[in-house]
A = this chain, B = another copy of it.
Amino acid sequence: MSITIALPKGALLKGTIARLQAIGIDFGEFLETSNRLLRLKDRSERYEGLLVRAQDVPVYVAYGQAQVGVVGFDILKEKQLPVAQVADLGFGYCRLSVAVKGDSPYRGVQDLPAHCRVASKFTTCARSYFEERELPVELIPLYGSVELAPLTGMAEAIVDLVSTGRTLKDNGLIEIEKIFDSTARLIAHPLSYRLGRVGLHELLGQIQTAAVPA
């Protein structure tokens, strides 16, 4: 019985593949620009890789179609799905932050006007952050280029991922509050994990301790 591993498209893919290659599981083909495959067996045929959108990794793992997955903590917090969080893999650092226009008067979330508009791709995280602080805001869900929202005047603030800070800077935005830090996490299907599916605990242990060239 093979084990299926869900790999996230996007920023964490290279790090995930390197981590797996370090323990002899090679899904490098997913990185080739000509690749159109979404499923791939490794050479040993003991492991199958599923290449899915980062947001879909916890879905495949929660439903048990993949027993193992790698995904950012940001997405785990946002999606709130029943998966076992096994380990912090340390790579893929970014943070979810509140940002505003540099020429605005706001230097902290307390400065934001009541019922102001906040645009975000992370509405679940943003909502709980502002609710905990009893700051009433109107959330505007967006799918991309969230930095455009304050520039056009649609929103006073955004809640978005920051890694180098370059996108914010290029758009004249400044970070006023960090909500949380995020890194790549190793997750597992809860039932397979608890019942100790054959080879699963060994695999999870190996992925955690794999020595990856920096």
Cα(A153)–Cα(B63), bound, Å? 10
Cα(A85)–Cα(B55), bound, Å? 31
Partner of A39, one of B65, B151, B154: B151
A13-55 contacts to B (CB < 8 Å): 38-39, 50-53, 55
- Are B142 and A38 touching (Cβ within 8 A)? no
- Are A56 and B142 touching (Cβ within 8 A)? yes
A50-87 contacts to B (CB < 8 Å): 50-53, 55-56, 59-60, 63, 65-66
Cα(A148)–Cα(B141), bound, Å? 26
- A56: chain B residues at CB < 8 Å are 142-145
Nearest neighbor of A117 in chain B, beta-carbon distance:
B63
Q: Smallest distance from the beta carbon of A28 to chain B beta carbons, Å? A: 19
- Are A152 and B60 touching (Cβ within 8 A)? yes
A137 close to chain B: CB less than 8 A: no
Q: Smallest distance from the beta carbon of A36 to chain B beta carbons, Å? A: 8
Nearest neighbor of A155 in chain B, beta-carbon distance:
B63
- Are B50 and A148 touching (Cβ within 8 A)? yes
- Are A60 and B144 touching (Cβ within 8 A)? no
Map CB proximity to B onto A124-157 as digits: 1 under 8 Å, 0 otherwise.
0000000000000000111111001001111000
- Are A55 and B143 touching (Cβ within 8 A)? yes
- A101: chain B residues at CB < 8 Å are none
- A142: chain B residues at CB < 8 Å are 53, 55-56, 59
A–B pairs, 28, beta carbons within 8 Å: A4-B152, A9-B144, A38-B145, A39-B151, A50-B152, A52-B144, A52-B145, A53-B142, A53-B143, A53-B144, A53-B145, A55-B142, A55-B143, A55-B144, A56-B143, A56-B144, A56-B145, A59-B140, A59-B141, A59-B142, A59-B154, A60-B152, A60-B154, A63-B154, A65-B152, A65-B153, A65-B154, A66-B152
Q: Please provide the 5 A-B residue pairs with the shortest distance between their CB atoms, ordered closest to farther.
A: A53-B144, A53-B143, A55-B143, A65-B152, A65-B154
